[in-house]
Amino acid sequence: MAQMTMIQAITDALRTELRNDPNVLIFGEDVGVNGGVFRATEGLQQEFGEDRVFDTPLAESGIGGLAVGLSLQGFRPVPEIQFFGFVYEVMDSISGQLARMRYRSGGRYNAPVTIRSPFGGGVHTPEMHADSLEGLMAQQPGLKVVIPSTPYDAKGLLISAIRDNDPVIFLEHMKLYRSFRQEVPEGEYTIPLGKAEVKREGSDLSIITYGAMVHESIKAAEELEKEGFSVEVVDLRTVSPLDIDTIIASVEKTGRAIVVQEAQKSAGVAANVVAEINDRAILSLEAPVLRVAAPDTVFAFPEAESVWLPNVQDIIETSKKVLNF
Amino acid sequence: MASKTNKASLDAMKQLEKVEEQFQTIQILNEEGEVVNEAAMPELSDEQLQELMKRMVYTRILDQRSISLNRQGRLGFYAPTAGQEASQLASQFALEKEDFILPGYRDVPQMIWHGLPLSQAFLWSRGHLKGGDIPEGVNVISPQIIIGAQYVQAAGVALGMKKRGQKAVAITYTGDGGTSQGDFYEGINFAGAYKAPAIFIIQNNQFAISTPREKQTAAKTLAQKAVAAGIPGVVVDGMDPLAVYAAVREARERAVNGEGPTLIETMTYRYGPHTMAGDDPTRYRTSDLDNEWEKKDPLVRFRKFLEKKGIWNEEMENETIEKAKEDIKVAIKEADNTPKQKVTDLISIMYEELPQNLVEQNAIYKEKESK
C-alpha cells in the first residue's frame, strides 16, 4: 500500500475508473495539459489521451450542459468545476437538468454524472472559492452529495460515485488535499455512498460531522478525553441522502449529540441532522442537540477567516454545554 | 486635452456593417408558391414533397384540436404551433432517424414526426410521467422548459456522437428570445470549439411572449451571432419549407462530414398566443402584423407549389385532415386510458435505488393511496 495525500488518492481513483470503463470522460477548465489547478487530473491526459480527458472553454454552464448531453449518449462524465463557489453559473445544469433527468423521463434516461469540485475554508482564497454550499445541493432531490474527510475515503467514495447511475456532487475540501497522508490501497475498492462511518468510538457524546470538521472534532474529542469524557465522532461522508441509521444508533448509545459543520448555521445539513434526531431519538436524549457552525454571514474575508471558521475550541465549548446539561 | 479622433473605431463600424450585409434571408419558394431560387432547390422526390405537405396539414389540424382540447380541460400545458410548420417540420424532415432532437416546449410536432407516439405527447402536456418516457429507438428528449438549456446539452450530445464516430447530428431549437441567454452562446461556442455535429435552430417568431425581437439585441440578425462562435450561420425564410429544408440538409451534410455545427435562423411567426395559459397577443401585436404574416403562410404557398406541379389536390388534403382527426381521437383515448399517476410512482423514479428518506416516504404514500 502507498502513502497518499487526498489529492493523490483522488487522481488514483480517476485513473482507476478511466481504465475500468471506456465511457468515463473527464473534462473541465485546465484539467488537460495542466492537470487541474490542484493537479487532481495530473498526468491523466497524457495517459488516456485528449479524447478521454479534455479542457473545456471557460463556461461552467456549458460544462454542465456538456455533461447532460454526453450522458444522453451513454457516457459517464466526470466534469470538474474549478471551485465550488462557481457553482451558481451551473446551477441549472445541476438542479434543473441532471437531478431531474431520471424523473423527467419517467425513468427512461439517467444521468450518471459525477461533478467534482474543491471547496472549503482555511486556505485564504479570494471570494467565491471556499464557500460550503453542500446544503444548497442537499436540498435538491435527485442528487447525492458526498464529502470525504480522508484520502482512503476519497478514493473509495469517488470510485463509487463514478459508478453510480445517479448524479453525484463530490466535494473536496481544499485544506485536506495535502494536509496529511494515509495508507491507500492500490487498485479498485469502493466505499458505499449514503453510509456514514464512526471515526472514533465513545460513550458520552456523539459529534456528528463531515469534511474538514471531522479532524477538528477528533482533536476536540482527544482534548475532552483528558477531562474524562468519552466522545464518539461520526463522519457522515454522504450528506445527502443521510445515513440516518448510523446517526440514530450513535445518539441512542451516547444520549447526547452535537452537530458540527463548517457551513453557516442556518438551514443546511446540520439543521437537517438535528431534525432527524428530534424525529427519531428524542426519548434517548439527555440534553438538547446543539450545533457548531459558522455565523450567518457571507463567507469571511481572509483576514477574519480563522475566527469565523468553527475550530477545536468552539467544538469543545459546545460539547461541554451538552455534556454538563 | 481632447483625445485624437480614433480612426480605428470608424473601421469597426464598417466591419460590422460588412458582416451584417452578409446575412440576407434565403428564400426558395415565394408567397405565391413560385420557385425564386432554382439553384438552391433541394433534391426532393414528388413523394417526399407530398409527405412534407401532409405533415404540415396534419400538424395544423393537431394544433387546432389541441387548442380546443385545452379549452375543454382535456389537455394541459400547450404552446400553439400554427404558422411555424415550415420551420418545425421541414427542419425535422431534413433529419435521419439516428439524429437526436432537443426541443423547446413549442417543438412537440418535431418529436412526433421523429417517432414520439401522439398519445405520449398528450400525456406530456397533461403532466404525466409517461409523457417523458421516450420509447427505445426514438432519438428525442422531452421538451426543455428552461430557455437555452437545450443549447448547451445539444453541444454535449453532438460531442458524444463525434466520440462514438456516429454519422449523426444533434439538433436543437430555441426562439428569438432564447438567443439572449448565456446558454445560447455557451452552446454554440462549445460545439464550435469541439467541431461537434450540432445544428442550432432559432425559430425567430418575432416575439418572446410579448417582447419584440428588436428589444432582444442590437444585432441586425440573430444568425450573425454565429460569427462570434466561428461557425457558419444562415437566415432563411421560415415560412418557406424548401428553404428551411435546404438549409438544415446542408448543415447536416457539413456536420456529419466533420465540419462542425451551424446556426440557422428561421424567420417565422406564431399565429396564436404564446401558450394557452392566458396569454393575449392583442396586448403586444397588431392585427395588421398578424395579417401581414398570415399572407406568408407556409401551407398556402406549399399547396400552390404542389398543385401547380400537379401532385396535390383537395382530396389528398381532406384525406390528411380526416386521418389527423382520427389519430387524435385514438391518441386522446389512449391517454385517457393510461393509469393515473401516483405519488409513489414519482418516488420510485427519483433514484436507481431509493435512499432511506424516500423508502419511508414511499411507505407513507402507499398507505395514503390504498385508502
Contact yes or no for B132/A104 (Cβ under 8 A): yes
Looking at residue B364, its amino acid is I
Across the interface, of A66, A243, A245, the residue whose CB is closest to B155 is A66
Residue contact B186–A166, C-beta within 8 A: no
A97 touches chain B (CB under 8 A): yes
- Going by pLDDT thresholds of 50, 70 and 90, the confidence category of residue B2 is low
> What distance in Å separates residue B302's CA from the closest CA in chain A?
35
Angle between helix axes B46-71 and B298-309 (nearest 10 degrees) is: 150
Residue B10's pLDDT is: 72
A109 to chain B: closest CA residue: B133
Domains of chain B, CATH where assigned: 44-339 (3.40.50.970), 341-370 (no CATH)
Question: Hey, of B116, B138, B152, B181, which one would you mutate to test binding to chain A, going by the most A CBs within 10 A of its CB?
Answer: B152
Count, residues in chain A: 325
Cα separation values, B155 from A62, B101, B289, Å? 8, 12, 35
Q: How far out from the chain centre does Cα B46 lie?
A: 25
**Is the C-alpha dihedral spanning A64, A69, A72, A76 positive or negative?**
negative
Q: Which of A61, A90, A100 to mutate to test the interface with B (most CBs of B within 10 A)?
A: A61
| Interval B176-221: pLDDT, tens | 999 999 999 999 999 999 999 999 999 999 999 999 999 999 999 9
What's the pLDDT tens digit per position in A248-298? Answer: 999 999 999 999 999 999 999 999 999 999 999 999 999 999 999 999 999
SS3 at position A269: helix
Question: What stretches of B237-297 show up as alpha helix (H) in DSSP?
Answer: 241-256, 287-294
Cell of B73: 380541460
**Residue B258: CA atoms inside 13 Å, Cβ hemisphere, count?**
3
For A57, the closest chain B residue by CA position comes to: B190
Binary contact (A66, B182; C-beta < 8 A) = no
Predicted pLDDT of residue A1: 79
Classify residue A179 by its DSSP letter.
Answer: T
Q: How far apart are CA A258 and CA A251, in angstroms?
A: 10
Per-residue confidence (pLDDT) for residue B123, from 0 to 100: 97
Q: pLDDT digit string (tens) for B104-131?
A: 999 999 999 999 999 999 999 999 999 9
- What pLDDT digit, counting tens, does each position of A312-323 carry? 999 999 999 999
Work out the average pLDDT over B15-19: 94
Q: Which residue of B has its CA nearest to A91?
A: B149
Q: Decide if pLDDT at B5 tops 60.
A: no
Question: Which DSSP string corresponds to B157-200?
Answer: HHHHHHHHT-S--EEEEEETGGGGSHHHHHHHHHHHHTT--EEE
CA dihedral B152, B156, B161, B163 (to 10 degrees): 140
The contacts of residue A29 (CB under 8 Å, 6+ apart) are A55, A56, A58, A63, A80, A82
Q: State the cell numbers at B202.
A: 432559432
User: Active site includes B284?
Assistant: yes
Nearest CA-CA distance, residue B350 and chain A, Å: 6
| Structural domains in chain A plus CATH codes | 1-182 (3.40.50.970), 195-322 (3.40.50.920)
The per-residue pLDDT for range A87-141, each reduced to its tens digit, is 999 999 999 999 999 999 999 999 999 999 999 999 999 999 999 999 999 999 9
**Complex ipTM value:** 0.95
Count how many pairs of residues, chain A against chain B, have C-beta atoms within 8 Å.
135
State whether residue A70 sits within 8 Å of chain B by CB: yes
